[in-house]
Chain A
Amino acid sequence: MQNHILSIILFTPLLGALILLFVPKENKDAIRWIANIFALGGFLVSLPLVPMFWAQRLEPGFKFIEGTPNNWIPSIGAGYVIGIDGISFLLIMLTTLLGWISILSSWTAIENRVKEYYVWFLILQTGMLGVFMALDFFLFFVFWEAMLVPMYLLIGIWGGPRKLYAAIKFFLYTLAGSVLMLLGILFLYFHHHGVTGIYTFSLTALYETAPKIYSDPAYGPTIATLLFFAFFFAFAIKVPMFPFHTWLPDAHVEAPTAGSVILAGVLLKMGTYGFIRFSLPFFPDVLMHTKVRGWMITLSIIAIIYGALVSLMQKDMKKLVAYSSVSHLGFCTLGIFALNSAGLSGSVLQQINHGISTGALFLIVGILYERRHTREIAEYGGISNVMPVYATITMIMFLSSMGLPLLNGFVGEFTILQGTFMENWRWGAWAVPGVVLAAAYLLWLYQRVFFGTVTNPKNEKLHDLTPREVLTFVPLLIMAFWIGLYPKPFFQILEQPVNQLVQNVRNPQAAGAVNATLRPAVKQEATSAPVATTASAIGAPAVSHPAKGKN
C-alpha cells in the first residue's frame, strides 16, 4: 500500500473512466453515480496519504517514490518515476478534493452527452495528478500535454456561446508554450549526457547538472537565460502571468462550471508548480540575476493590479472571477520570485487558498447561472432575500478570497507580502493595493447581487441551495476556516522542501545541496539548520537569510 499509494491515487479516476465506457449512454443516472463514486473514491484513496506523509514530513527529498529511472522507455532514458514532496502533496490533495467537488456539482448542470463528460473529466483528473507526481521529465511532459485534450473538449462541447473560440485558444496558447519547454528539456537532456555520459530524463539526475550550465564556459549565462525563458513561457502561459493571460478570461467564461473550477483550482497551479519544481532548481543563477528577477517581479505586480482593476469593470460575474484569478495568481508568482522561505511557502499556501476560494466562487456563479441562465450582474439584486443560505456561504467565500483575517486568503497573502517586504519594501508596497482592490470588486459585486430588494421579478421564485449543492461547499468551508485559523500544519509540511529550495537557489554551490534532496536516507539537519524556522505569529516560517546573492 505504502509503496503504491501514488499510483493508486493516480489511476483511480482513469479506472472510473474506463468502466464508464462500458455503461450504455442512455443510462444517465447510472453514469452519474459511477462517476461520483470514482471521484469520491479518488479523494478517499488520497486521504491515507495525509497521515503517511505527515509522519515523514521532515525527511528531505522526495517521498513515496515509485519506479526506477529509465524503466519505461530505456532506449531514450525515460522512466515511470513518481514521488512527492510537501509542495506536490498539498497540490495533490487539492486536486483530488476539487475533482470530487466538481464532479458532484455537475449532477444537474450537465444534461446532454453525460457519459462523455464524465469520461473526459476523469481522464483530466488523472492527467493533472500525473503532472504533480512525475519525477521524470518525459513523463511530466506527457501528462502536461495529454491533460490539454480533455480540458479542450470540456470547454468545447459543454461550454458557452463562444466555446469553440475559447477551446482552441486555450489549446493553442498552452501548447505553444509547452513545445518550447520540450526543446528546453531536450537541451538539459543532452547537457546531462555531455557531463555524465548518461541519457536520462530523471528529474533528480537533471537537478545535479542543469544548474551548472550557467557557469559552464561551453554554454554560459546567455544560454542558461535562454533556457530559463524556454521554460518560462510554458509556465507563464499556464499561470497565466501578464501579458500571457488573454486565454484565461475566454476559457473560464466559456467553460462549464465544473470546468472553470478545475481550470482555476488546479490547472493554473501547474504553472506555478512548474516554476517551483523546475525553474527554481534548474536555473538558480539566472533567477538571482537582478534583471531577470526584476522582470518577474514586475510582471507579477502588473498582474496583481491589472487583474484587480479589470475585475472592477466587469459586468459578467464569471468574467469578474476570472480576472480576479489573474490578480491572485500574481500574488503567487510574486511569492515565488521573492525567493525566500516566507514568500515561497506563502505562495504554495496561497495556491491552495486560491483553489479553495476561487473554486467556490465559480461554483457560486454556476449555481445562479443554472437557475437563471445569465451571469449579468445587472440582472440580479436582493438575492439574499430569496436565497439566504446561498448568500451566507457566498459572503464567507468572498471574504476568504479578499483575504480577511481568520480565513485562508489572509494567511497566504500575508505570508507572501511578508516575504516580499523582506526582499524589497517597494515590491511589497506595489502589491498591497491589490488586496484593497480585491475587497473593492468583491464587496461591490456582493452589494449589487445580494443586497437590497429583489428588483428583477424573475429572481423572486429562485429556490435556495439543495443539500447536494450545500455538500459541495462544506469541504471548502472547512478548509477555508482551517487554514485561516490554524495554518501551522500546512507550513510544517512546506517547511522542509521550501527551505531546501531556497537554499539551493540562494547558494547553489553550498554543500551539494541539490544533490542532498535526492537521497531520502540522508538526514539533513546540518545543512538546513541555518534556515530552520521559528513559527511567527501566524505560524509562517520566518526567514534568516542564507548567504545573499550568489558566490
Chain B
Amino acid sequence: MGALSQFNWNDYTLALPITLLTLFALGILLIDLMIPPETKWANAVTALIGVLFATAGVVKIQLWMQTSRSTSMGSLAMMRTMLVDRFALYFFYLFLAATAISILMSMRYMKTEHENHGEYYALMLLSVVGMMCMAAGFDIVLIFIGLELMAISTYVLVGFLRRDRRSNEAALKYMLLGAFSSGIFAYGLSLLYGLTGSTNLGEISRQLTQILARNPYHPVAIIALLTTIVGLLFKIAAVPFHQWAPDAYEGAPTCITGFMSVAVKAAGWAMLLRILIWGLLPMRSVWLPLLVFVSIATMTGANFAALTQTNTKRLLAYSSIAHVGYMLLGLIAGTVTELSPDGIKGILIYLLVYTFMNLGAFGVITSLRYRNVIGDELDDLNGLYSRAPVEAVLMLIFLLSLAGIPPLAGFYGKYFIFLSLIETKHYALASLGVLYSVFGLYYYLKMANAMFMGQPEEQGALPVSWTMRAALGVTAFATLFIGIMPDRFIQLVNWSLGLAQSPAVAKLIH
C-alpha cells in the first residue's frame, strides 16, 4: 500500500486511455453474454465507443501537458515506469486510428465467418492497451508486460477462425515463434538489468555510458544488446527474423492481418525506437552495422520473395517486410554516434502513412470475402474493376502509395528516409533503397494489372458493406490528403519528436 500512496492524480490522468480501454474490453465481455446473436454488432459499436473515449483521454493528456511548461514535453508517471511524452501520444493516436478502422473492416467479415463473438473486439482493445504500454513504457518491465499483452491477444486473434486449419496453423506458428523471441528478448533485458542494476531506460542509458567509457566492447553489454535487438527485430519482422510473418498474415482473418500489419507493427517500432534511442543510444556504434546488414537483407529478401507470391495476403506480408527494410534505413542515417533527426522523422511519417495505405489495401482484400469466396488469391482480384469500380480505384491508390508514387502519402515516408540518408552522406544505401522501391512497384502493379486488365471469374457487382465503405473512405481520403497537403502532418511529427531525452533528437525542437 505504500507504493500506491506515491500515485497522485496526474498518474491517473496519464494512464486514462489505458484504463478506459481496459474497462471497455471487460465491458464488452460482459455485454456479449447478455445480447442475442442477431445483435452482436453491438460489440463492435461498444468497441468503437471505447476507442472514441480513449481518444478523448489522449486529447485530455495533450491538453494537460500544454498547461505548464514543465510538462509540455511530457511527463514521467507511475513511479517512473511510464514516459507519457509527445512521442507516446503520437503513437497513441496512431494505434487508436488503426484500431477504429480495423473494427469497421471487421464487422461484416466476422459475420460472414460465423465467428462474431465479443471476445474478438475485447482482445483487440486489450492488445491496444499492450501497445500503449510499449510506446509509453520507460521501464523495461512495463515494456515487456505491454509486449506480452499485445502478443498474446494477437495470437488468439490470428487463430480466431477456429474452424479454419490455416488460421489454426498460423496462430500456432506465430505463438511458438513469438514466445521464443520473447524469451530471447527477456534474456537480453535481464542482462541489461544485471549490467546496470536498473530497469529504467534512462538509468540504463546513463550506466551504459559509464560502462562503455571504461570498456567500449564490454562483452556482457554486447550480448545484452544482441539478444535485445533480436527480440526487437523479430517483433517488427525484419529479415532474417521474419519467417512467422507471411504464415501468420496469410492464416489470420484478413481484417486482423490488416490490424497486425499496421498497429502491431507500429507498436513494435515504438518499442524499438524507445529502447534503441532512449536506452541503448550509447551502443549505437555496435547496433549500427548490425542494422545496416539487417536492412539490406530485409529489402533484398522481402522484395525478391514478394515477386513470386500468388496469394495477396502473403504478397502484402512480404511487402510490409520490405517496408520495414526501408524504415530501418531511417535509423541508420546519421553518424556512428549520432542519429539523424530526419531519419527518425521519416520513420514516424512512414508509420503514419503506412497505417492508412496498408489498412486500406487489406480493407479491399477483406471486402472480397463473401459467401463462398475467400478472396485472398491474386486471381480473385481479376477484373475487380468491372465488379466494384470504386474499390478497384481505391486499391490502385493504396498500391501506388505503397510503391511510393507522388503525390500519394506513401511517397513522403520514403522521401524523408532517403532525404536523411542523403543528408548524412549514405549515398550507396540510398541508391540501393530507391532501386528496391522500383523493384517493389513490379509486384504492386501485378495486383493492379489483375484488377484493371484481368477478366473477372464471377460476374455481378461485389457487395460492400457500408462500414467497409466508411473504412475505405477514411483510409483513401487520408492517403490522398496527406499526399497533397503533407505540411500539417510533417509538423505533427516534428511536434511529436519535440521531447529531448536523447541529445540527438533534442535538435528537432528547433
| A associates with B | yes
User: Do B405 and A157 have beta carbons less than 8 Å apart?
Assistant: no
User: Do A182 and B441 have beta carbons less than 8 Å apart?
Assistant: no
Chain A residues whose C-beta falls within 8 Å of the C-beta of B487 in the assembled complex: 72-75
User: Do A146 and B453 have beta carbons less than 8 Å apart?
Assistant: no
User: Do B452 and A141 have beta carbons less than 8 Å apart?
Assistant: no
User: Do B406 and A176 have beta carbons less than 8 Å apart?
Assistant: no
B185-193, B259-267, B364-372, B430-438 - interface stretch = B430-438
Cβ 8 A contact of B422, one of A163, A164, A179, A190: A190
**Is B400 among interface residues, defined by CB-CB distance under 8 A?**
yes
User: Do A153 and B452 have beta carbons less than 8 Å apart?
Assistant: yes
Chain B residues whose C-beta falls within 8 Å of the C-beta of A186 in the assembled complex: 418-419, 422-423
**Is B154 among interface residues, defined by CB-CB distance under 8 A?**
no
Closest residue on chain A to residue B420 by CB atoms: A186
Chain B residues whose C-beta falls within 8 Å of the C-beta of A180 in the assembled complex: 431, 434-435
Interface residues in A69-87 (C-beta closer than 8 Å to B): 72-76
Interface string of A162-188 (1 = CB under 8 A from B): 011001100110011001101100110
User: Do A142 and B438 have beta carbons less than 8 Å apart?
Assistant: no
User: Do B453 and A76 have beta carbons less than 8 Å apart?
Assistant: no
Chain A residues whose C-beta falls within 8 Å of the C-beta of B423 in the assembled complex: 186, 190
User: Do B452 and A157 have beta carbons less than 8 Å apart?
Assistant: yes
Closest residue on chain A to residue B489 by CB atoms: A75
Interface string of B481-493 (1 = CB under 8 A from A): 0000011001100
Chain A residues whose C-beta falls within 8 Å of the C-beta of B434 in the assembled complex: 179-180, 182-183
**Is A326 among interface residues, defined by CB-CB distance under 8 A?**
no
User: Do A156 and B452 have beta carbons less than 8 Å apart?
Assistant: yes
User: Do B405 and A146 have beta carbons less than 8 Å apart?
Assistant: yes
User: Do A179 and B437 have beta carbons less than 8 Å apart?
Assistant: yes
User: Do B431 and A183 have beta carbons less than 8 Å apart?
Assistant: yes
Chain B residues whose C-beta falls within 8 Å of the C-beta of A142 in the assembled complex: 406-407
**Closest Cβ of chain A: how far from B510's Cβ, in Å?**
13
**Residue from the set A142, A148, A157, A189 with the largest chain B CB neighbour count within 10 Å:** A142
**Is A23 among interface residues, defined by CB-CB distance under 8 A?**
no
Cβ 8 A contact of A176, one of B405, B435, B486, B491: B435
**Is A145 among interface residues, defined by CB-CB distance under 8 A?**
yes
Interface size class, chain A: 20 to 34
Could you tell me the distance between the alpha carbons of A172 and B487 in the complex, rounded to whole angstroms?
29
User: Do A168 and B405 have beta carbons less than 8 Å apart?
Assistant: no
User: Do B449 and A73 have beta carbons less than 8 Å apart?
Assistant: no
Chain B residues whose C-beta falls within 8 Å of the C-beta of A478 in the assembled complex: none
Closest residue on chain B to residue A226 by CB atoms: B427
**Is A149 among interface residues, defined by CB-CB distance under 8 A?**
yes
User: Do B422 and A187 have beta carbons less than 8 Å apart?
Assistant: yes
Cβ 8 A contact of B491, one of A75, A156, A163, A189: A75
Closest residue on chain B to residue A156 by CB atoms: B453
**Closest Cβ of chain A: how far from B381's Cβ, in Å?**
14
Interface residues in B403-460 (C-beta closer than 8 Å to A): 405-407, 411, 415, 418-419, 422-423, 427, 430-431, 434-435, 437-438, 441-442, 445, 449, 452-453
Cβ 8 A contact of A73, one of B418, B445, B490: B490
- Total A-B Cβ pairs within 8 A: 71
Chain A residues whose C-beta falls within 8 Å of the C-beta of B441 in the assembled complex: 171-172, 175
User: Do B438 and A176 have beta carbons less than 8 Å apart?
Assistant: yes
Chain A residues whose C-beta falls within 8 Å of the C-beta of B405 in the assembled complex: 145-146, 148-149, 175
Could you tell me the distance between the alpha carbons of A74 and B453 in the complex, rounded to whole angstroms?
40
User: Do B438 and A175 have beta carbons less than 8 Å apart?
Assistant: yes
User: Do A172 and B438 have beta carbons less than 8 Å apart?
Assistant: yes
Could you tell me the distance between the alpha carbons of A142 and B427 in the complex, rounded to whole angstroms?
22
Chain B residues whose C-beta falls within 8 Å of the C-beta of A172 in the assembled complex: 438, 441-442
Could you tell me the distance between the alpha carbons of A309 and B444 in the complex, rounded to whole angstroms?
37
Given contacts A149-B400, A149-B405, contact A168 B449 (CB under 8 A): yes
**Residue from the set B400, B406, B430, B486 with the largest chain A CB neighbour count within 10 Å:** B406
Chain B residues whose C-beta falls within 8 Å of the C-beta of A187 in the assembled complex: 422
Chain B residues whose C-beta falls within 8 Å of the C-beta of A157 in the assembled complex: 452-453
**Residue from the set A75, A152, A156 with the largest chain B CB neighbour count within 10 Å:** A75
**Is B494 among interface residues, defined by CB-CB distance under 8 A?**
yes
Interface string of B345-384 (1 = CB under 8 A from A): 0000000000000000000000000000000000000000
**Closest Cβ of chain B: how far from A163's Cβ, in Å?**
7
User: Do A179 and B406 have beta carbons less than 8 Å apart?
Assistant: no
Closest residue on chain B to residue A153 by CB atoms: B452
Could you tell me the distance between the alpha carbons of A189 and B416 in the complex, rounded to whole angstroms?
13
Given contacts A146-B407, A187-B422, A190-B423, contact A156 B435 (CB under 8 A): no
**Closest Cβ of chain B: how far from A261's Cβ, in Å?**
22
**Residue from the set B415, B434, B491 with the largest chain A CB neighbour count within 10 Å:** B434
User: Do B406 and A183 have beta carbons less than 8 Å apart?
Assistant: no
In the complex, given contacts A145-B405, A145-B411, what are 5 additional A-B residue pairs having Cβ atoms less than 8 angstroms apart? A73-B487, A164-B453, A168-B445, A179-B434, A180-B435
Can you list 5 pairs linking A and B with CB atoms under 8 Å apart?
A73-B490, A145-B405, A157-B453, A176-B438, A179-B438
- Give 10 nearest A-B pairs by CB, closest first: A179-B434, A186-B422, A142-B406, A75-B490, A176-B438, A73-B487, A142-B407, A175-B438, A145-B406, A156-B453
Residues of B within 8 A of A (CB): 400, 405-407, 411, 415, 418-419, 422-423, 427, 430-431, 434-435, 437-438, 441-442, 445, 449, 452-453, 486-487, 490-491, 494
